[in-house]
Copies of this chain bind each other. A is one copy, B any other.
Amino acid sequence: MRFTVTYRIRAADLADARARAEAVALEQTVEIPRAVVPKGYVKDEILGRVEEVGTLTEGVFQAKISYSPDSAGDEFSQFLNVVFGNSSIQQGIRVTGVEPGETMLKRFPGPRFGIRGIRARVGRAKGGMIAPVLKPMGQPPGAFAALAAGCVRGGADIIKEDHGLAGQATAPFEARVEAVAKAVARANRDHGRSAIYIPNLSGPADQIEARLRFARDAGAGGAIVMPGLLGFGMVHRIARDAGLDLPVMTHPSFLGPWVLSPDTGMDHGVIFGTLPRLAGADISVFPNVGGRFGFSAAECSQIADACRDPAGPGALTLPSPGGGMSVGRAGDMVRMYGQDVVYLLGGSLLADPPNIHLAVAAMREAVDRAEES
């Protein structure tokens, strides 16, 4: 069964839109003029197929193009290469939907844990989860360990590292992960909790594998992957590995240009919802409405919907809005996102690091109260 990509295309008229769609079908597969496409298997199966083209509004059209699973094989990066590799460089074409179809769903079955699995791990059967972020960079491992312990004490579900914590000499990956994992385990015992710690995956490309095993062995409860920097294929690689057994949290760093222009790139729900979920992200971080970034409520809802749509690919992904959350806004946030959500809590918690447990507890209480009302 072929997979289908929906594109929104700017064109002069319907005939022009059809021509552009046919050009995309060529570009994304054989990448040669139609006249020289080899007959038989390449032309009949591999070549992208324009399934329908319709008008959305004046000058704006929608095309659905189907592709053979054979063109993608079982590599997630090659799948994306077919979805929108070279055509991403064309003006006036945006991906608005990706339907993997049965065949690709077998190869990319989605999140290993999903909402249910994450809830089981952190021991919170219902209600929004809260995830304070360890930062800023430049501090030693002990500082992050102390912050993490305070967050667990305050009632955090997930201890997330800042996506900027990498291999800085002040807190190298191994030393940091070991120190924080140990602190979280101890705080869990001391306070009767089961928070998980999710370090930020980083490192030279040839050390990533070793770092994944190190993180697992040290007791990390997942891995943050920035697909903009490490590739969506890294998400898929971790999600498929039962031996690693690590939930994946994706982070939007270095992906901004994909959504900022309405005529190019991909819809918010696709790049921060459908694709991470299909690749296997259990939690997808995105910039929240009302924070430092300009996403609208509609764009954020589109992401959350794509993460949690029961008709979407595989298990459900937890949407994780970052920024814009405070005790005062908890009510609004609960009304907007419901209960299956992970709230990132950033710099606002860090006014008084030794008492971070109080700030986390206040946020927990605000979310609980909002959910009950």
Interface residues in A51-80 by Cβ distance below 8 A to B read 70-78, 80
| A interface residues (Cβ-Cβ under 8 A, vs B) | 23, 27-33, 35-38, 41-42, 45-46, 70-78, 80-82, 84-91, 135-139, 162-164, 166-170, 202-206, 208-209, 226, 228-234, 236-237, 241, 252-261, 264-265, 287, 292-294, 346-348, 350-351
Residues of B within 8 A of A72 (CB): 166
Given A88-B256, A90-B294, A264-B256: A347 in contact with B31 (beta carbons within 8 A):
yes
List the B residue with the shortest CB-CB distance to A28.
Answer: B164
8 Å CB contact of A136 from B42, B166, B260:
B42
7 closest A-B pairs by CB: A32-B347, A88-B256, A89-B256, A30-B136, A85-B253, A46-B138, A205-B237
Residue of B nearest to A287 (CB): B89
A307: shortest Cβ distance to chain B, in Å?
18
Number of copies of this protein chain within its complex: 2
**Alpha-carbon separation in the docked complex, A255 to B256 (Å):** 11
Q: Is the CB of A205 within 8 A of B163?
A: no
Let me know if B27 and A91 touch, CB within 8 A: no
The answer for the CA separation of A236 and B230 in the assembled complex, in Å, is: 13
Q: What are the residues of chain B within 8 A of A45 when measuring CB–CB?
A: 138
Please determine whether A74 and B167 come into contact, CB atoms closer than 8 angstroms.
yes
B137 touches A254 (CB 8 A): no
Looking at the assembled complex, report how far the CB atom of A207 sits from the nearest CB atom of chain B, in whole angstroms: 9
Query: Chain B: which residue is nearest A88 at the CB level?
Result: B256
Q: Residue on B with the closest CB to A37?
A: B136
Are the CB atoms of A81 and B253 closer together than 8 Å?
Answer: yes
- 23 A-B contacts (beta carbon < 8 Å): A30-B137, A30-B138, A31-B346, A33-B348, A36-B351, A38-B138, A41-B170, A45-B138, A70-B170, A71-B168, A75-B167, A77-B230, A85-B163, A85-B164, A85-B228, A88-B256, A89-B293, A91-B294, A204-B236, A205-B208, A205-B236, A206-B209, A257-B258
How many angstroms from the CA of A191 to the CA of B89 in the assembled complex? 38
- Chain B's nearest CB lies how many Å from the CB of A343? 16
Q: How far is the CA of A167 from the CA of B30 in the complex (A)?
A: 15
B77 and A229 within 8 A (CB): yes
> Which residues on the B side are within 8 Å of A168 (C-beta)?
70-71, 73
- Output the least CB separation between A323 and chain B (Å): 10
Decide yes or no: A229 and B31 within 8 Å by CB, A257-B264, A257-B265 being known contacts.
no
Question: Residue A73 contacts which of B91, B167, B206 (CB distance < 8 angstroms)?
Answer: B167
